Amino acid sequence: MTEHAVVIAGGGPTGLMLAAELALAGIDVAIVERRTSQELIGARAGGLHARTLEILDQRGMVDRFLKEGHIAQVAGFAGVRLDLSGFPTRHPYGLGLWQNQIERILAGWVEELAVPIYRGREVAGFTQDDSGVGIQLSDGGLLRAQYLAGCDGGRSRVRKAAGIEFPGCDPTTSCLTAEVELAELPELGVRHDAIGVHGFGRREYEIRDGKVVFKESGPIRVMVTERQVGPSTEPTLRDLSEALIAVYGTDYGVHSPTYISRFTDMTRQAAAYRDRRVLLAGDAAHIHAPDGGHGLNTGVQDAVNLGWKLALVVKGIASEGLLDTYHAERHPVAARVLRHTMAAVQLRRADERTKAVQDTVAELLGMDEPRKRFAAEMSGLGIRYDLGEGHPLLGRRMPDLEVTAAQGPLRVFTLLHQARPVLLHLGEPGRVDIAPWADRVQLVDARYAGAWELPAIGPVPPPIALLIRPDGYVAWVGDGAQQGLAEALTQWFGAPLAP
C-alpha cells in the first residue's frame, strides 16, 4: 500500500490547482486520474475570469496563460457584456483559452512541483477512520492518505461514496457540442431562435476590437440546442445531425467527429463540502449551466481556498476546525453562481415576454452602479468572505499594490508566490511583533502612498497593517495597534510557538 498525505481524485483544472497549492506548502500529494494522458478531447470551458487571473498572478504563473490566450472582456450576464477596463486590478479583463490548454499549462506546473499522477485509474471506493482514508483504485491498487479530495466532476464517485447529498434542479434544456468536418460550410457565428442558442466556429480564433474572428481553416466547432432535453447516454453523430436539421433545416453533411458531448442546465450543489477526511471541490461540489463561464473558475478558486488550509491541518499546525471554514466560505460563493446561471438560462429564451425582461435587464446594467456591481460579481473580483465587521478590506481580495520595502519596490502578489501568508505593515518599522508565528507568516515592513480602491466599492480608508492569507484574502486589518492580531493569527495559522 502506497501512502500520501493527500490524494486527489481527478486531474482536471481543480485537481491540478489543488495539487500545486499543496505541493507549494510541502505536502506529499498525489493525483488519481482516469485518463491515461493529460490530453483532453473537446473544448469544454473556454476562458478565465479576472479573479482567476489574479490568483494565477499570485503564484507567479499568469504569464504562461496570457502568452497563449486572447485578452477580452468576457464577463457578462444575460447577454450583456460587462466592461472591467476601469476596475482597479492588473487584470481588468478575461482570457479566452480552451480548457485543454489550461490543463496542459497547469499539468506542466504540477510536473515541475514533482506531484505524482496515477493515470488510467479511478477511485473506486474508500473507507475512513480516525487517522486517515483507505482508498481502493479501479485497477485493484490501494492507497492510504490522511485526506481525500474529490475533484472528480459532476458524477463524482467520491461524493457518492461519502454519502453527501447533491440537491438541486433537474435539467430543462440541453445542448450538443462537437468538433466535426462538414461537407458544406455554414455561416460562422451565433444564432438565437425559439429553440435556443446555436453556433458554428473554429478552434483557432483571434479577438479583434472585442470581437471573435475565426481563422480561415480547421475543424468546425458546433453548438446546437436540442428541442427536448437529451438522454444521459453519450450522444451520437445521428443525435447531432437531427439537432442540426431541426434548427437549420440541414446537417451540412456533418461527418468525422473528433468528439460529441452534451451539457444541460442541471443545477446541483453538495449539501456539505466535507465529510470528516473527505473534501469536495469543483464540479464534484457544484454543477450548473455554462452560461457566464463560471464552472472552471469557481473550481480553481475552491482549490486555492482549500489548499493552504488543508496543508496547515496536515502539518498539525492548525486544528481540523480550520477545514470547516472551507465550506463556510465557498458554499455561498457557488450558491450565488448557481442562482446567476439559472437566471441566465431563463433569460436566453426567445419568446416575447422573456425578450421584454432581457431588455429591462440590459437597461439596468447600462447604468453605472448596477454595471459595476454585476461586473465585480461575475468576474470574481467582488467576492467577500464573511470574516466579521470592520474595515471594507476585511474578507476581500488584497489589491496588488506596488509598495516600497527594504529591498526596493515590489508587488504585493510577489509576496504570495510561495502560498505563504503575509503581515504587511505600512507604518513605522518595528511596531508589529509576530515572532510567535514567524515560522509560518512573513512580516513585511513597507511604504505605500497611493490610493486604496476596491472594484465596485470605490475608495476605502488606507490601513496601517493587513494580514493576507495565502489565497490573497485579507484576514485582519489594523489601524496602527495590534488589537485582534494575535487572535486572527491563531485562528488562521495556528497557536503561537512557545517562548
pLDDT in tens, 98-122: 899 999 999 999 999 999 999 999 9
The CATH number of the domain holding residue 219 is: 3.30.70.2450
Query: What average pLDDT is seen over the chain?
Result: 93
Please indicate, yes or no, whether residues 91 and 193 belong to a single structural domain of this protein: no
Mean pLDDT, rounded, for 430-436: 89
Q: Say which CATH number the domain at 138 has.
A: 3.50.50.60
pLDDT at 208: 62
pLDDT per position as a tens digit, 124-140 = 999 999 999 999 999 99
Per-residue pLDDT, averaged over 248-262, amounts to 94
Q: How far apart are CA 201 and CA 241, in angstroms?
A: 17
Q: Say whether both 248 and 229 belong to one domain.
A: yes
Domain boundary among 379, 411, 446: 379
HSE value, Cβ hemisphere, 13 Å, CA-based, for 376? 20
The residue whose grid cell reads 497547469 is: 106
Q: pLDDT band at residue 394, thresholds of 50, 70 and 90? A: very high
Residues 50 and 198 in one domain: no
Confirm whether 216 is domain-assigned: yes
pLDDT at site 224: 96
- 205 pLDDT above the threshold of 80: no
pLDDT score recorded for residue 478: 94
Element (H, E) at 342: helix 321-347
Residue 38, pLDDT score: 82
pLDDT of residue 168: 97
Q: Whole-angstrom Cα distance, residue 111 to residue 33?
A: 14
Is pLDDT of 210 > 60? no
Of the candidates 264, 288, 317, which is a domain's last residue?
264
Assigned C-alpha cell, 209:
476590437
Q: Is the pLDDT of residue 203 over 80?
A: no
Do the domain assignments include residue 375?
yes
- Separation between Cα atoms, residue 123 and residue 115, nearest integer Å: 17
In percent, the amount of the chain with pLDDT more than 70 equals 96
- Which of 313, 344, 379 corresponds to the end of one domain? 379
Decide if 196 contacts 351 (C-beta within 8 A).
no
| Distance (Å) of CA 220 to CA 196, 253, 259, 404, 455 | 20, 12, 11, 51, 38
Q: pLDDT: is 416 or 220 the higher one? A: 416
Pair (29, 114) in one structural domain: yes
Quote the pTM value: 0.95
Please state, for a pLDDT cut of 90, what percent of the chain lies above it.
Answer: 82
- Whether residues 230 and 304 fall in one domain: no
Residue whose C-alpha is closest to residue 144's, from 50, 19, 5: 5
Residue 471 near residue 304 (C-beta atoms within 8 A) = yes
Taking the C-alpha atoms of residue 356 and residue 46, their distance in angstroms, rounded to an integer, is: 29
Q: How many CB atoms lie within 10 A of CB 328?
A: 12
Residue 321 and residue 341 share a domain: yes
- Is the pLDDT at 368 greater than 60? The verdict is yes
- Model confidence band, residue 46 (pLDDT cutoffs 50, 70, 90): confident
pLDDT at 194: 87
- Say if 499 falls within a structural domain: no
- Please tell me the predicted confidence (pLDDT) of residue 350: 79
- For the beta carbon of residue 238, count every other beta carbon within 10 angstroms: 10
Do both 154 and 283 map to the same domain? yes
Stretch 453-458: mean pLDDT, rounded?
A: 96
140 DSSP 8-state letter: S
Q: Do 124 and 246 belong together in one domain?
A: no
**pLDDT value, residue 42:** 59
Cell of 330: 465557498
Q: What pLDDT was estimated at residue 322?
A: 98
Does 234 map to a domain? Answer: yes
Is there a single domain that holds both residue 323 and residue 182? no
Q: What is the pLDDT of residue 452?
A: 96
Domain with residue 442: its CATH number is 3.40.30.120
Domain of residue 258: give its range. Answer: 174-264
Per the structure, the count of domains in the chain is: 3
Structural domain includes residue 385: no
- Higher per-residue pLDDT: 46 or 103: 103
Q: What is the pLDDT of residue 489?
A: 97
Q: In whole angstroms, what is the distance from residue 442 CA to residue 451 CA?
A: 24
Q: What average pLDDT score do residues 85-106 get?
A: 94
Write the pLDDT tens digit of every residue in 272-331. 999 999 999 999 999 999 988 899 999 999 999 999 999 999 999 999 999 999 999 999
Quote the cell numbers at residue 152: 472528480
- Residues 11-20 have a mean pLDDT of 97
Does the pLDDT value for residue 215 go beyond 70? Answer: no
Whether residues 13 and 155 fall in one domain: yes
- For the cut 80, the answer to whether the pLDDT of residue 438 exceeds it is yes
Provide the residue type at 258 as one letter. T
In a domain, 462, yes or no: yes
Of the candidate ranges 79-83, 348-352, 403-407, 471-475, the one whose mean pLDDT is the lowest:
348-352
The residue-averaged pLDDT of 435-453 equals 95
288 and 313 housed in the same domain: yes
**Do 113 and 245 fall into the same domain?**
no
